[in-house]
């Protein structure tokens, strides 16, 4: 096992069956790792999340993973795996905490988790003195999901269909999730071309929110990064234009999470992830779930029972072109202000989300 051999190689080397070798490895691992009482010493920051362990139809495929994040916070090393418990629920995590000693539970200061309220409730009941926080990966993922939903909605509104090869929004779907400081010259040029027209202004505003959130977590000064994050949450929690549906939902979610969780945990820069594409949720393959257009997606209103496929045209709520053209983007981390006429500003009640201001940025000369 020192050479990281597979169970099959171990069984072949020892001349035994695979089951025999696997049972021996599991027993030794349990003796060395699980039964070691010292592995729970010095734990001050705990992380909890669910993980898909079994990819079969039988049994519970989820497990609750508990890790020690104290080395991450103190900068002394990587995180340590504490335990994996079958199932994902409030009761699973609460039972695991209840089995720990009172001394261990009193020493826990912070519990990092995702947006699942069950983990928060279990923490409150079993660790009343600990601070529950939302880890950066899931916070940034909320903004990334909002950006994806906005991109798909604008794609459907402009072209009347899902993203196809060659569509600007579809081609830039991965580039939009790349941090501003990591963009190549080709990716930067692609975003400039994408945001040059007024038809993608809502995507640009949502993209700016995502970039501001990533910049807050990557800031060198933790205190200033927290201030940037607080301003961002305030800017998307109130006064958001009605046209930015995804930003409104994001602001509501962040505001609710802020009330239920007292802070946000920030890992070191080399372990920060901007987007959760590698944790894609399980879903039915596209070939097994054909898309049938809903009545509101067709070019004419029809009863719900009429499911005939029709050629979709541009919906009636297609965005009007704004009067002020978008300027060049010198740096993607701090995009320029947009110019709107008073007529369109009053219609959409738009304001410059990308700079965090709560007022409409207008040029009277366009009015």
Which pLDDT tens digit goes with each residue over 27-86?
888 888 777 778 888 999 999 999 988 777 777 788 999 999 999 888 899 998 898 898
pLDDT at 169 over 90: yes
Q: Give me 184's structure tokens.
A: 């190549």
- Give the closest residue to 43 by CA, choosing from 127, 122, 118: 127
- Find the range with the poorest average confidence among 55-64, 82-91, 159-168, 270-279: 270-279
For residue 220, the model assigns a pLDDT of 87
The encoded tokens of residue 147 equal: 């950006």
Average pLDDT over every residue of 7-32:
88
pTM for the full model? 0.62
Query: For 92-141, what is each residue's pLDDT tens digit?
Result: 999 999 999 999 999 999 999 988 889 999 999 999 999 998 888 889 99
Distance from C-alpha of 333 to C-alpha of 326, rounded to nearest angstrom: 16
With CA atoms as reference, report the closest residue to 264 among 41, 66, 97, 45: 45
In whole angstroms, what is the distance from residue 200 CA to residue 125 CA? 46
pLDDT band for position 269 (cuts 50, 70, 90) = very low
Higher pLDDT, 258 or 334: 258
pLDDT score recorded for residue 239: 87
Tally the residues of the chain.
Answer: 367
CA distances from 203 to 14, 95, 148, 151, 317 (A): 59, 44, 9, 6, 16
In this predicted structure, the answer to whether residue 256 has a pLDDT above a threshold of 50 is yes
CATH of domain 44-134: 3.30.420.10
The alpha carbon of residue 279 and the mean position of all alpha carbons in its chain are separated, in whole angstroms, by 10
Token pair of 328 as six digits: 């060049």
């Amino acid at each position: 096992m020192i050479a990281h051999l597979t169970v099959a190689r171990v069984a072949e080397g020892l001349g035994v069956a695979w089951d025999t070798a696997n049972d021996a490895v599991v027993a030794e691992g349990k003796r060395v790792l699980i039964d070691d009482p010292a592995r729970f010493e010095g734990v001050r920051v705990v992380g909890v999340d669910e993980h898909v362990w079994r990819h079969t139809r039988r049994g519970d495929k989820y497990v609750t993973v508990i890790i020690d994040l104290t080395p991450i916070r103190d900068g002394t090393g990587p995180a340590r795996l504490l335990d994996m418990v079958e199932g994902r629920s409030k009761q699973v995590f609460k039972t695991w905490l209840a089995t720990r000693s009172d001394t261990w539970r009193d020493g826990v200061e912070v519990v990092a988790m995702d947006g699942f309220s069950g983990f928060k409730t279990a923490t409150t009941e079993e660790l009343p003195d600990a601070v529950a926080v939302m880890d950066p990966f899931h916070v940034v993922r909320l903004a990334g999901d909002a950006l994806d939903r906005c991109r798909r909605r604008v794609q459907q509104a402009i072209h009347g269909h899902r993203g196809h090869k060659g569509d600007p929004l579809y081609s830039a779907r991965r580039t939009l999730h790349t941090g501003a400081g990591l963009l190549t010259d080709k990716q930067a040029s692609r975003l400039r071309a994408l945001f040059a027209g007024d038809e993608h202004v809502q995507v640009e505003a949502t993209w700016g929110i995502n970039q501001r959130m990533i910049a807050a977590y990557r800031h060198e000064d933790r205190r200033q990064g927290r201030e940037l994050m607080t301003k961002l949450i305030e800017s998307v929690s109130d006064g958001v234009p009605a046209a930015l549906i995804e930003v409104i939902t994001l602001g509501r979610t962040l505001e609710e999470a802020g009330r239920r969780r007292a802070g946000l945990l920030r890992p070191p820069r080399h372990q920060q992830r901007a987007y959760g594409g590698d944790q894609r949720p399980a879903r039915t393959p596209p070939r097994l779930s054909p898309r049938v257009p809903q009545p509101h997606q067709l070019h004419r209103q029809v009863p719900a029972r009429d499911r005939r496929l029709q050629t979709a045209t541009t919906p009636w709520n297609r965005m009007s072109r704004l009067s002020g053209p978008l300027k060049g983007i010198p740096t993607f981390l701090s995009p320029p202000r947009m110019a709107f006429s008073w007529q369109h500003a009053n219609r959409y009640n738009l304001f410059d989300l990308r700079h965090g201001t709560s007022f409409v940025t207008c040029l009277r000369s366009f009015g």
